[in-house]
Amino acid sequence: MKNKQQTGSIRLSDLATIGKQKVTLENIAIWDAEAEALYNTLKDATIKDAVTHLEENPPSAGVVAMLWFVAQVSMNKKRAKDAAVAGHSQKGGSHDKREKICQIWATGKYETKTDCANKECGNIGMSFSTAIKALQGK
């Protein structure tokens, strides 16, 4: 198992305190509510206005930690999605196979999409059900 230094991430459960406050479920709920309020205050602000607001109203370490955790989850989701899209988009990937079955159907060689999917799915390297979905636009 990777440790915190290897992964570059930590969990709230790894911490006994944030700043001078103990990490408790009650404090987490308070920080979460404060973080949401801060987000709602700043979501439409310019950078200059956001900086001014934060200088005049510095958030607690707990609020910063909550926002950091939310950002970390968001970045991890984006990385995973980008990796999946890259894999599907490479030559011979699912996007390529979908395009191939649709091109074969467009030739008019088959009378039905079912026939096309049934006869060509093996040649393309996709399952029958995936070929049918591709031809049906799903």
pTM: 0.47
Same-domain pairing of 117 and 69: no
DSSP string, 74-92: HHHHHHHHHHHHHHHHSTT
Cβ contact 41:48 at 8 Å = no
Q: How many domains does the chain have?
A: 2
d(CA 92, CA 125): 9
- pLDDT level of residue 17 (50, 70, 90 thresholds): low
pLDDT for 4 beyond 50: no
What beta strand segments (E) does the chain contain?
17-18, 21-22
Looking at residue 138, its pLDDT comes to 66
Same-domain pairing of 17 and 84: yes
Same-domain pairing of 61 and 104: no
pLDDT for 7 beyond 70: no
- Give residue 115's domain range: 94-135
Q: How many CA atoms lie within 13 A of 5 on its CB side?
A: 0
Nearest-10 crossing angle of helices 113-124, 128-135: 130
